[in-house]
Amino acid sequence: MIELNKIVVIGAGTMGSGIAQWFAQNFCSVELIDNSSEQLQKAKSSIEASWDKLEKKGKLTASDVARMKELLSTKSLEETSKDADLVIEAIIEDLEIKKTLLKKLDSHFEEKTILSSNTSSFPIHLMAEALSDKRKGKFLGLHFFNPATIMKLVEIIRGKDSSDELCQDLYTWFNEKGKKPALSADSPGFIVNRVARNFYGEPLRIVEKDEPEMMREVDRILREVGGFKMGPFELMDLIGIDINYSVTCSVWEAYDKEPRFAPHKLQKQMVDEKRFGRKSGRGFYKYD
């Protein structure tokens, strides 16, 4: 089996710090990087606090927590070990910024280092354009789900130049570590963000109008009959109507406006009215 001991995670936001935490919990050495030292410290403290909490609950032993804390460090990119086994970037979703970073990573790390991206929106083959030819085979997508320590899925995205063998090796490695990997082609939305679109799109077409009573009924039926943990309307309110709408539009555009992915007019109307869901106090439902 492939050996992954030294991991570098770039971007200490929600996803990056969750990913860093998961690797450290699996006893890999993790260097967490971010432009903002403040953000880095915040992420580190919150990861450590989460371990302390798990120790109190009896889910982790004191010696495990001590070891994990030792394994997790924060660095600047320049200070990062050049011999990392795997680098995962989880920075802002901006193609140009990501490509600039990848170019830097390509020259900083040794030839053996695997580079990966946690992107949910950009094709891996487009990001790979920033890399040298010899690195391209060692670059792929590793798409984690939030919260990364809890959600078991990792989508392993094989770009057109990514090595098949490497993707298979990572599949086996994550499986051994208790994740549930899924191998996906480099197509828009990969698996989840594509297949899940109609969990939102279809209920919107069942209700058609801005009627909370109908939405409550649809949420209830999908929970009670369907066995989903949350109904689509309450889930969209939690995710953020703006974020859900933007993912919908991006998948729809990427598939040349295929009608199966078309956004519903109500989504745009809500974004225009700044009804973003829970975070703005009003989405499909009202929140106090």
Kindly report the CA angle at 284 between 148 and 146, in degrees rounded to 5?
Answer: 0
141 binds other proteins (CB under 8 A): no
Give the one residue of 214, 243, 249, 254 binding other proteins; rule: CB under 8 A. 214
Tokens of 260: 């199966």
Binding mask 163-182 for other proteins (x = CB under 8 A): -----------------xxx
User: How many angstroms separate the first and last alpha carbons of the chain?
Assistant: 52
For other proteins, the binding residue among 96, 111, 225, 288 (CB under 8 A) is: 225
Of residues 35, 228, 246, 254, which one binds other proteins by CB under 8 A?
228
The yes or no reply on residue 201 touching other proteins (CB under 8 A) is: yes
Contact (CB, 8 A) for 142 and 90: no
199 binds other proteins (CB under 8 A): yes
Query: Segment contacting other proteins (CB under 8 A): 46-54, 79-87, 259-267, 271-279?
Result: 259-267
Provide the annotated active-site residues: 120, 143, 155, 193
Is the distance from CB of 143 to CB of 169 less than 8 angstroms?
no
- Residue 209 touches other proteins, criterion: CB under 8 A: no
CA trace torsion 201, 206, 209, 210 (10° rounding): -70
Q: Judged by CB under 8 A, does residue 243 bind other proteins?
A: no
Closest CB to other proteins among residues 85, 277: 277
Strands 72-75 and 86-89: unpaired
Residue matched to tokens 């990848």:
102
Minimum CB separation from other proteins for residue 179, in Å? 8
Cis check: omega of the bond before 203, within 30 degrees of 0: no
Residue keyed to tokens 């956004």: 263
Among 22, 51, 190, 245, the residue binding other proteins under the rule CB under 8 A is: 190
Where on the phi/psi map is residue 190: left (φ > 0), alpha (ψ -120 to 50), or beta? left
Q: Which residues of this chain interact with other proteins, rule CB under 8 A?
A: 145, 151-153, 155, 180-185, 187, 190-192, 194-199, 201-203, 206, 214, 217-218, 221-222, 224-229, 232, 259-260, 262
